[in-house]
Protein backbone atom coordinates (compact mmCIF):
# COMPACT_ATOMS: atom_id res chain seq x y z
CA UNK A 1 0.00 0.00 0.00
CA UNK A 2 1.23 3.57 -0.60
CA UNK A 3 2.61 5.57 2.28
CA UNK A 4 0.39 8.45 3.51
CA UNK A 5 2.45 11.12 1.77
CA UNK A 6 1.91 9.34 -1.54
CA UNK A 7 -1.87 9.00 -1.44
CA UNK A 8 -2.50 12.23 -3.33
CA UNK A 9 -1.05 10.77 -6.54
CA UNK A 10 -1.96 7.14 -5.95
CA UNK A 11 -5.37 7.09 -7.64
CA UNK A 12 -4.30 9.18 -10.66
CA UNK A 13 -1.35 6.85 -11.18
CA UNK A 14 -3.57 3.79 -11.05
CA UNK A 15 -5.86 5.39 -13.64
CA UNK A 16 -2.84 6.16 -15.78
CA UNK A 17 -1.56 2.62 -15.53
CA UNK A 18 -4.96 1.22 -16.45
CA UNK A 19 -4.99 3.35 -19.59
CA UNK A 20 -1.47 2.27 -20.46
CA UNK A 21 -2.36 -1.35 -19.84
CA UNK A 22 -5.27 -1.13 -22.23
CA UNK A 23 -3.02 0.53 -24.78
CA UNK A 24 -0.48 -2.24 -24.28
CA UNK A 25 -3.10 -4.86 -25.08
CA UNK A 26 -3.70 -3.20 -28.46
CA UNK A 27 -0.03 -2.56 -29.20
CA UNK A 28 0.38 -5.60 -31.41
CA UNK A 29 -2.35 -4.39 -33.77
CA UNK A 30 -2.32 -0.60 -33.58
CA UNK A 31 0.46 1.86 -34.28
CA UNK A 32 1.20 4.15 -31.31
CA UNK A 33 -0.45 7.57 -31.22
CA UNK A 34 2.70 9.60 -31.85
CA UNK A 35 0.96 12.96 -31.57
CA UNK A 36 -0.18 12.12 -28.04
CA UNK A 37 3.23 10.69 -27.17
CA UNK A 38 4.98 13.88 -28.26
CA UNK A 39 2.60 15.91 -26.10
CA UNK A 40 3.37 13.67 -23.10
CA UNK A 41 7.02 12.52 -23.41
CA UNK A 42 7.15 11.02 -19.92
CA UNK A 43 4.20 8.78 -20.68
CA UNK A 44 5.65 8.17 -24.14
CA UNK A 45 8.90 6.79 -22.74
CA UNK A 46 6.95 4.61 -20.32
CA UNK A 47 4.80 3.31 -23.18
CA UNK A 48 7.91 2.69 -25.29
CA UNK A 49 9.41 0.56 -22.53
CA UNK A 50 6.15 -1.38 -22.23
CA UNK A 51 6.28 -2.06 -25.99
CA UNK A 52 9.92 -3.13 -25.61
CA UNK A 53 9.00 -5.60 -22.88
CA UNK A 54 6.43 -7.16 -25.19
CA UNK A 55 9.06 -7.41 -27.97
CA UNK A 56 7.08 -4.93 -30.09
CA UNK A 57 10.34 -3.33 -31.19
CA UNK A 58 8.90 -1.48 -34.20
CA UNK A 59 6.37 0.28 -31.98
CA UNK A 60 9.02 1.04 -29.35
CA UNK A 61 11.29 2.50 -32.03
CA UNK A 62 8.51 4.66 -33.48
CA UNK A 63 7.78 6.09 -30.03
CA UNK A 64 11.41 6.74 -29.13
CA UNK A 65 12.25 8.23 -32.53
CA UNK A 66 9.41 10.73 -32.19
CA UNK A 67 10.71 11.75 -28.77
CA UNK A 68 14.40 11.70 -29.76
CA UNK A 69 13.70 14.13 -32.60
CA UNK A 70 12.65 16.57 -29.89
CA UNK A 71 15.82 16.09 -27.86
CA UNK A 72 14.59 13.56 -25.29
CA UNK A 73 17.67 11.99 -23.67
CA UNK A 74 16.01 8.81 -22.43
CA UNK A 75 14.54 8.11 -25.87
CA UNK A 76 17.94 8.55 -27.50
CA UNK A 77 19.52 6.14 -25.03
CA UNK A 78 16.83 3.55 -25.71
CA UNK A 79 17.30 3.89 -29.47
CA UNK A 80 20.99 3.25 -28.90
CA UNK A 81 20.12 -0.04 -27.18
CA UNK A 82 17.90 -1.11 -30.08
CA UNK A 83 20.60 -0.28 -32.63
CA UNK A 84 23.50 -1.80 -30.71
CA UNK A 85 21.71 -5.06 -29.98
CA UNK A 86 19.88 -5.33 -33.29
CA UNK A 87 16.43 -5.50 -31.74
CA UNK A 88 13.97 -5.20 -34.60
CA UNK A 89 16.75 -4.01 -36.92
CA UNK A 90 20.17 -5.04 -38.19
CA UNK A 91 22.79 -4.07 -35.57
CA UNK A 92 24.19 -0.61 -36.36
CA UNK A 93 26.92 0.47 -33.97
CA UNK A 94 27.48 3.82 -35.69
CA UNK A 95 23.83 4.74 -35.19
CA UNK A 96 23.90 3.41 -31.61
CA UNK A 97 26.94 5.56 -30.84
CA UNK A 98 25.24 8.69 -32.19
CA UNK A 99 22.20 8.06 -30.01
CA UNK A 100 24.31 7.32 -26.91
CA UNK A 101 26.39 10.47 -27.40
CA UNK A 102 23.32 12.63 -27.92
CA UNK A 103 21.75 11.19 -24.78
CA UNK A 104 24.96 11.50 -22.75
CA UNK A 105 25.46 15.12 -23.75
CA UNK A 106 21.87 15.79 -22.68
CA UNK A 107 22.67 14.39 -19.23
CA UNK A 108 21.68 10.71 -19.37
CA UNK A 109 23.84 8.91 -16.81
CA UNK A 110 22.93 5.55 -18.35
CA UNK A 111 24.24 6.71 -21.73
CA UNK A 112 27.37 8.15 -20.10
CA UNK A 113 28.04 4.83 -18.38
CA UNK A 114 27.43 2.86 -21.57
CA UNK A 115 29.84 5.06 -23.53
CA UNK A 116 32.41 4.64 -20.79
CA UNK A 117 32.13 0.87 -21.10
CA UNK A 118 32.28 0.87 -24.88
CA UNK A 119 35.37 3.08 -25.02
CA UNK A 120 37.06 1.16 -22.19
CA UNK A 121 36.48 -2.18 -23.91
CA UNK A 122 37.48 -1.12 -27.41
CA UNK A 123 35.67 -3.93 -29.22
CA UNK A 124 32.60 -2.31 -30.77
CA UNK A 125 34.27 1.12 -31.00
CA UNK A 126 37.97 2.09 -31.02
CA UNK A 127 39.45 1.96 -27.53
CA UNK A 128 39.82 5.40 -25.98
CA UNK A 129 40.74 5.53 -22.29
CA UNK A 130 40.46 9.32 -22.13
CA UNK A 131 36.89 9.34 -23.41
CA UNK A 132 36.09 6.34 -21.27
CA UNK A 133 37.23 8.07 -18.09
CA UNK A 134 35.42 11.27 -19.05
CA UNK A 135 32.11 9.50 -19.50
CA UNK A 136 32.53 7.36 -16.39
CA UNK A 137 33.31 10.53 -14.41
CA UNK A 138 30.23 12.26 -15.79
CA UNK A 139 28.04 9.32 -14.80
CA UNK A 140 29.69 9.02 -11.38
CA UNK A 141 29.01 12.71 -10.72
CA UNK A 142 25.32 11.90 -11.14
CA UNK A 143 25.54 9.16 -8.55
CA UNK A 144 26.14 6.11 -10.76
CA UNK A 145 27.90 3.69 -8.42
CA UNK A 146 28.95 1.33 -11.23
CA UNK A 147 30.70 4.19 -13.03
CA UNK A 148 32.44 5.16 -9.80
CA UNK A 149 33.58 1.56 -9.37
CA UNK A 150 35.02 1.51 -12.89
CA UNK A 151 36.96 4.69 -12.20
CA UNK A 152 38.28 3.24 -8.96
CA UNK A 153 39.36 0.11 -10.81
CA UNK A 154 41.19 2.23 -13.40
CA UNK A 155 42.98 4.10 -10.61
CA UNK A 156 44.16 0.92 -8.93
CA UNK A 157 41.78 1.05 -5.99
CA UNK A 158 41.09 -2.46 -4.75
CA UNK A 159 37.46 -3.50 -5.10
CA UNK A 160 35.72 -6.49 -3.59
CA UNK A 161 35.86 -9.69 -5.61
CA UNK A 162 32.14 -9.32 -6.27
CA UNK A 163 32.68 -5.84 -7.74
CA UNK A 164 35.59 -7.08 -9.84
CA UNK A 165 33.54 -9.98 -11.18
CA UNK A 166 30.58 -7.74 -11.95
CA UNK A 167 32.79 -5.33 -13.88
CA UNK A 168 34.21 -8.28 -15.81
CA UNK A 169 30.66 -9.23 -16.78
CA UNK A 170 29.98 -5.65 -17.85
CA UNK A 171 33.12 -5.66 -20.00
CA UNK A 172 32.08 -8.91 -21.66
CA UNK A 173 28.63 -7.50 -22.34
CA UNK A 174 30.08 -4.35 -23.89
CA UNK A 175 32.23 -6.61 -26.08
CA UNK A 176 29.18 -8.48 -27.34
CA UNK A 177 30.17 -11.64 -25.46
CA UNK A 178 26.72 -12.03 -23.95
CA UNK A 179 26.81 -15.75 -23.14
CA UNK A 180 30.07 -15.33 -21.20
CA UNK A 181 28.62 -12.38 -19.31
CA UNK A 182 25.57 -14.47 -18.41
CA UNK A 183 27.75 -17.15 -16.79
CA UNK A 184 29.28 -14.61 -14.41
CA UNK A 185 26.01 -12.79 -13.73
CA UNK A 186 24.23 -16.04 -12.89
CA UNK A 187 26.90 -16.91 -10.35
CA UNK A 188 26.76 -13.46 -8.78
CA UNK A 189 22.95 -13.40 -8.81
CA UNK A 190 22.90 -16.60 -6.79
CA UNK A 191 24.88 -14.81 -4.06
CA UNK A 192 22.17 -12.14 -3.82
CA UNK A 193 23.98 -9.40 -5.74
CA UNK A 194 21.20 -7.02 -6.77
CA UNK A 195 23.08 -5.45 -9.69
CA UNK A 196 23.71 -8.86 -11.21
CA UNK A 197 20.12 -9.95 -10.70
CA UNK A 198 18.92 -6.78 -12.41
CA UNK A 199 21.34 -7.06 -15.36
CA UNK A 200 20.54 -10.74 -15.79
CA UNK A 201 16.83 -9.97 -15.71
CA UNK A 202 17.31 -7.46 -18.50
CA UNK A 203 19.26 -10.02 -20.56
CA UNK A 204 16.45 -12.56 -20.21
CA UNK A 205 14.01 -9.81 -21.17
CA UNK A 206 15.99 -8.89 -24.30
CA UNK A 207 17.18 -12.41 -25.14
CA UNK A 208 20.88 -11.57 -24.88
CA UNK A 209 23.08 -14.62 -24.33
CA UNK A 210 19.99 -16.57 -23.27
CA UNK A 211 16.62 -17.45 -24.75
CA UNK A 212 14.14 -14.62 -24.19
CA UNK A 213 12.13 -15.53 -21.09
CA UNK A 214 9.95 -12.93 -19.37
CA UNK A 215 9.06 -15.31 -16.54
CA UNK A 216 12.72 -15.68 -15.57
CA UNK A 217 13.25 -11.95 -16.05
CA UNK A 218 10.37 -11.25 -13.68
CA UNK A 219 11.82 -13.51 -10.98
CA UNK A 220 15.18 -11.76 -11.23
CA UNK A 221 13.70 -8.26 -11.28
CA UNK A 222 11.66 -9.08 -8.18
CA UNK A 223 14.75 -10.38 -6.38
CA UNK A 224 16.79 -7.32 -7.32
CA UNK A 225 13.93 -4.94 -6.51
CA UNK A 226 13.62 -6.49 -3.07
CA UNK A 227 17.33 -5.86 -2.56
CA UNK A 228 16.84 -2.20 -3.45
CA UNK A 229 17.89 -2.00 -7.11
CA UNK A 230 16.02 1.00 -8.59
CA UNK A 231 16.29 -0.15 -12.21
CA UNK A 232 14.72 -3.47 -11.23
CA UNK A 233 11.99 -1.71 -9.25
CA UNK A 234 11.09 0.34 -12.31
CA UNK A 235 11.21 -2.72 -14.59
CA UNK A 236 9.01 -4.63 -12.16
CA UNK A 237 6.49 -1.78 -12.10
CA UNK A 238 6.21 -1.89 -15.89
CA UNK A 239 5.82 -5.67 -15.87
CA UNK A 240 3.03 -5.45 -13.32
CA UNK A 241 1.35 -2.77 -15.39
CA UNK A 242 1.53 -4.63 -18.70
CA UNK A 243 0.88 -8.11 -17.31
CA UNK A 244 3.87 -9.41 -19.26
CA UNK A 245 5.98 -11.76 -17.16
CA UNK A 246 3.73 -11.24 -14.13
CA UNK A 247 -0.01 -11.07 -13.51
CA UNK A 248 -1.22 -7.49 -13.82
CA UNK A 249 -1.34 -5.72 -10.45
CA UNK A 250 -1.69 -1.96 -10.71
CA UNK A 251 -1.48 -1.29 -6.98
CA UNK A 252 1.79 -3.19 -6.62
CA UNK A 253 3.08 -1.48 -9.77
CA UNK A 254 2.46 1.87 -8.09
CA UNK A 255 4.35 0.76 -4.99
CA UNK A 256 7.45 -0.23 -6.95
CA UNK A 257 7.30 2.92 -9.07
CA UNK A 258 7.39 5.02 -5.89
CA UNK A 259 10.28 3.00 -4.45
CA UNK A 260 12.31 3.52 -7.62
CA UNK A 261 11.52 7.24 -7.60
CA UNK A 262 12.55 7.55 -3.95
CA UNK A 263 16.03 6.36 -4.98
CA UNK A 264 16.31 9.04 -7.65
CA UNK A 265 15.43 6.83 -10.64
CA UNK A 266 14.78 9.52 -13.24
CA UNK A 267 12.16 7.77 -15.42
CA UNK A 268 10.18 6.79 -12.33
CA UNK A 269 10.45 10.28 -10.87
CA UNK A 270 9.37 11.83 -14.14
CA UNK A 271 6.37 9.50 -14.40
CA UNK A 272 5.18 10.34 -10.90
CA UNK A 273 5.79 14.06 -11.40
CA UNK A 274 3.73 13.99 -14.57
CA UNK A 275 0.87 12.22 -12.83
CA UNK A 276 0.97 14.56 -9.82
CA UNK A 277 0.71 17.55 -12.16
CA UNK A 278 -2.24 16.11 -14.08
Which residue did the predictor score with more confidence, 277 or 183? 183
Q: Within this chain, do residues 238 and 152 fall inside the same structural domain, yes or no? A: no
Residue 28 has pLDDT above 70, yes or no: no
16 lies in some domain: no
Residue 25 has pLDDT above 50, yes or no: no
- Do the beta carbons of residue 220 and residue 233 sit within 8 Å? no
Residue 17 has pLDDT above 70, yes or no: no
Query: Which pLDDT band holds residue 18 (cuts at 50, 70, 90)?
Result: very low
Total count of domains within the chain: 2
Write phi, then psi, for 234 (nearest 5 degrees): -65, -45
Mean pLDDT of 57-67: 96
Which residue did the predictor score with more confidence, 122 or 4? 122
Q: Within this chain, do residues 179 and 216 fall inside the same structural domain, yes or no? A: yes
244 lies in some domain: yes
Neighbours of 129 (CB within 10 A): 11
Query: Which pLDDT band holds residue 195 (cuts at 50, 70, 90)?
Result: very high
State the pLDDT at residue 50.
87
| Among candidate residues 98, 110, 106, 183, the one with its CA nearest the CA of residue 143 | 110
User: 3-state SS of the chain?
Assistant: CCCHHHHHHHHHHHHHHHHHHHHHHHCCCCCCCHHHHHHCHHHHHHHHHHHHHCCCHHHHHHHHHHHHCCCCHHHHHHHHHHHHHCCCCCCCHHHHHHHHHHHHHCCCHHHHHHHHHHHHHCCCCCCCHHHHHHHHHHHHHCCCHHHHHHHHHHCCCCCCHHHHHHHHHHHHHHCCCHHHHHHHHHHHHHCCCHHHHHHHHHHHHHCCCCCCCHHHHHHHHHHHHHCCCHHHHHHHHHHHHHCCCCCCCHHHHHHHHHHHHHCCCHHHHHHHHHHHHC
Residue 142 lies in domain: 107-157
Residue 200 has pLDDT above 50, yes or no: yes
State the pLDDT at residue 243.
87
Neighbours of 278 (CB within 10 A): 12
Mean pLDDT of 201-221: 96
CA distances from 191 to 164, 184, 188, 196 (A): 14, 11, 5, 9
Tell me the CB-side half-sphere exposure of residue 129, using CA atoms within 13 A.
Answer: 4
| Among candidate residues 78, 130, 5, the one with its CA nearest the CA of residue 267 | 78
Residue 4 has pLDDT above 70, yes or no: no
Residue 74 CA to residue 68 CA, distance in Å, equals 8
Distance between start and end Cα atoms, the chain? 22
28 lies in some domain: no
Which residue did the predictor score with more confidence, 10 or 131? 131
233 lies in some domain: yes
Q: Within this chain, do residues 173 and 199 fall inside the same structural domain, yes or no? A: yes
Render pLDDT for 223-264 as a digit per residue (tens, 0 to 9).
999 999 999 999 999 899 888 889 999 999 999 999 999 999
Mean pLDDT of 201-220: 96
206 lies in some domain: yes
State the pLDDT at residue 132.
97
Mean pLDDT of 141-158: 86
Which residue did the predictor score with more confidence, 96 or 42? 96
Mean pLDDT of 6-14: 40
- The CA angle 214-109-97, to the nearest 5 degrees, is 80
Mean pLDDT of 182-187: 98
Mean pLDDT of 11-33: 50
The rounded mean pLDDT for the chain is 87
Residue 84 has pLDDT above 90, yes or no: yes
Query: Which pLDDT band holds residue 182 (cuts at 50, 70, 90)?
Result: very high
State the pLDDT at residue 154.
80
Q: Within this chain, do residues 184 and 237 fall inside the same structural domain, yes or no? A: yes
Q: Within this chain, do residues 150 and 199 fall inside the same structural domain, yes or no? A: no
- By CB atoms closer than 10 A (0-12, 13-18, 19+), residue 143 is exposed
Render pLDDT for 162-172 as a digit per residue (tens, 0 to 9).
988 999 999 99
13 lies in some domain: no
Mean pLDDT of 119-146: 95
State the pLDDT at residue 73.
95
Of the residues 121, 136, 157, which one is the last residue of a structural domain?
157
Amino acid sequence: MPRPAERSCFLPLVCLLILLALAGQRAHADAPDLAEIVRNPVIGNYKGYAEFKMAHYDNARAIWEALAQRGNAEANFNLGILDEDGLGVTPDMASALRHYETAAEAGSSRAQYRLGLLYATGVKVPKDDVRSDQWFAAAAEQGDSDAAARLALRRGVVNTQRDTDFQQAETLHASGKYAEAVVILKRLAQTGDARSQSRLGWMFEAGQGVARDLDKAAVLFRQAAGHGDADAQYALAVMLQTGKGLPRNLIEADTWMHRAAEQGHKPAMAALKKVAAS
